[in-house]
Amino acid sequence: MGAGTNQMIIDVHCHVVSPDREKYPLAPIGGKQSDWSSERPTTPEQLIAAMDAAGVAKAAVVQASTAYGHDSSYLADALARFPSHFTGVFSIDPLDPKALDQIDHWTSLGMTGMRVFTTGSTMPGQQTWLDDERAYPVWEKAGKLKLPVAMQMTAEGIPLLLKIVKAFPETDFLLDHLARPVIGDGPPYAAADSLWEIAKYKNIYLKLTSRTVEHCQAGKATPETFMAKLVATFGSDHILWGSNFPAHDDTLSNIVKETFHVIASLSDADRANILSGTALRLYPVLK
């Protein structure tokens, strides 16, 4: 429950990073550790304390790729210690010849989501391998195992993404940060046309994170106009909330408060979907 309501809240985009670099050595994707993971290491105990303070019930904790690359060992240990609070979203390189074995390994440790990192603070520029056929067995297996695939990407990668979205309709793809659209132009948000055009693909889901919460209150964007269009276009049953804590430099309580502000104009049913309903359908282990 949170923000003065009885609404269940599930966070589908938060991270854990250990302060112990000997037991959990750094291996950041792109070769450079992100500033946030260096400055704000967050143990599962600290994450749970932040969740309790913010009224967040459970979380799908996402591999901190900019600290550990594709070694999700710390995340696996956190999940093993606190299975009633978390599920885990591991990270792999879909082009790795051992990618299918890695999926088996991390799912055997209880993880129920997968992340693919194609751009970010330590690896700028949109990578162009998304539609590489060598990764097709990975997308197929994710669909069979009902593993939602979180995509860290930009809007520039959408044309490549659509090739695999069409080829693997049984696989659910979650766009981290809505694939980082430009929305400062305001209604009708024409600069985000590539985002609106993919709504017809029902295996695409959107993560509404603190990044978008900030951006829809900047420039000519407003929460009322942007969120109304987002929900009308995709449906709230295809949108789920993630804090991006602690990568986003604020308390989880404040992030939740800002999120409630941004979604205030939506219906109770739409808010319920965004805050937990959609997450529970994609990560039923959190029920």
pLDDT recorded at residue 127: 55
- The set of residues, in sequence order, having a beta carbon less than 8 Å from that of 183 and lying 6+ positions away, is 189, 191, 192, 212, 215, 216, 219, 221, 226
DSSP letter string over 184-206? TT-TT-GGGHHHHTTTT-TTEEE
Q: If DSSP codes are grouped into helix, strand and coil, which group holds residue 285?
A: helix
Q: Which CATH superfamily is domain 10-286 in?
A: Metal-dependent hydrolases (3.20.20.140)
pLDDT in tens, 85-123: 999 999 999 999 999 999 999 999 999 999 997 654 444
C-beta neighbour count of 245 within 10 angstroms:
29
Q: Which residues of the chain have pLDDT under 70?
A: 1-5, 118-128
Tokens representing 146? 């009902």
Residue whose tokens read 């359908």: 281
pLDDT recorded at residue 154: 83
- Alpha carbons 179 and 144: distance in angstroms, whole number: 24
Long-range contact set of residues 50-55: C-beta below 8 Å, sequence gap at least 24: 50/245, 50/251, 50/252, 50/253, 51/11, 51/85, 51/252, 53/251, 53/252, 53/253, 54/2, 54/9, 54/251, 54/252, 54/253, 54/255, 54/256, 55/1, 55/2, 55/3, 55/9, 55/253, 55/256
Q: If DSSP codes are grouped into helix, strand and coil, which group holds residue 110?
A: coil
pLDDT recorded at residue 123: 44
Q: Are 271 and 234 spatial neighbours (Cβ–Cβ below 8 Å)? A: no
Q: Could you tell me the residue ranges of all domains in the chain? A: 10-286
Q: If DSSP codes are grouped into helix, strand and coil, which group holds residue 91?
A: strand
- Alpha carbons 214 and 234: distance in angstroms, whole number: 20
